[in-house]
């Protein structure tokens, strides 16, 4: 395992001790996941190969939070870290502001993204802007409870590429794409779940066909 992911693994193993040391005003959550593919916004980040992932979040009672997420995959994998603030607007409504850094150990296309999300009783609406390459991404997300142990997660997104070209997406200069995904989640218990789903994306370049991907995996939280 590369050194970067060894650090992430050690961090995740320390979650119970961190929770005890921080006190009542902080909560620490994390998970590990094993999946057949790493798909973000409709595009595979692992050349359609299986991945292992991990995440840890530290949240304060005030609504401020920081987090760390890592995945194996292309360009030596990916390591993201973020900070943000979530506050209530009214019963059932909240607003979230977040700044995220996307880092690729074996690549050069690192990105910094700012986002604002509005959570409502019906859907979560998000708008994101990448300051390094000028891309914008807009999305809608909704999770439906189907039965005591079953959930359906729905996603739709639209991305327009900014003014700056970069490899390997040089062909996407001045273009856009849409993506969608549906995921069925089964809770084995309060700490483990299985999922199966389908992700799709289509850009407006006629040289690139519609892509669809079957997704499945296991998530263990702690």
pLDDT in tens, 44-79: 899 999 999 999 999 999 999 999 999 999 988 999
How do residues 186-222 score in pLDDT, each as one tens digit?
Answer: 999 999 999 999 999 886 655 555 678 999 999 999 8
* Cα-to-chain-centroid distance, residue 183: 14
Cα 124 to Cα 114, 154, 168, 205, distances in angstroms: 16, 11, 30, 29
Fold classification of 3-221 is: Porin (2.40.160)
Q: Where are the domains of the chain?
A: 3-221
State residue 171's pLDDT score: 46
Q: Which of 109, 83, 101, 106 is nearest to 4 (CA)?
A: 106
| Chain-centre distance for alpha carbon 111 | 14
Using alpha carbons, select from 42, 48, 53 the residue that is nearest to residue 9: 53
Contact 191, 222 (CB under 8 A): yes
- Total-model pTM: 0.84
User: What's the token pair of residue 167?
Assistant: 């490899």
Closest Cα to residue 106, out of 70, 72, 71, 74?
Answer: 74
């Amino acid at each position: 395992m590369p050194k970067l992911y060894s650090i992430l693994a050690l961090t995740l193993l320390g979650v119970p001790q961190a929770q005890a040391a921080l006190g009542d005003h902080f909560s620490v959550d994390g998970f590990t996941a094993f999946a057949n593919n790493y798909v973000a916004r409709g595009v595979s980040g692992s050349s359609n190969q299986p991945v292992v992932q991990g995440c840890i979040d530290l949240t304060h009672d005030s609504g401020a939070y920081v987090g760390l997420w890592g995945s194996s995959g292309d360009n030596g994998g990916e390591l993201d870290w973020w900070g943000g603030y979530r506050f209530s607007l009214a019963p059932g409504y909240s607003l979230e502001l977040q700044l995220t850094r996307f880092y690729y150990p074996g690549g050069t296309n690192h990105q910094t993204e700012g986002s604002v999300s509005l959570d409502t009783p019906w859907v979560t609406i998000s708008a994101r802007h990448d300051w390094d390459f000028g891309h914008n991404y807009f999305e809608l997300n909704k999770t439906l409870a189907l039965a005591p142990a079953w959930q359906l997660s729905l996603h739709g997104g639209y991305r327009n590429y900014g003014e700056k070209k970069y490899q390997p997406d040089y062909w996407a200069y001045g273009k856009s794409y849409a993506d969608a995904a549906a995921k069925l989640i089964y809770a084995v218990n309060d700490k483990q779940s299985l999922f199966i789903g389908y992700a799709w994306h289509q850009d407006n370049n006629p040289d690139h066909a519609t892509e669809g991907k079957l997704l499945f995996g296991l998530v263990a939280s702690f």
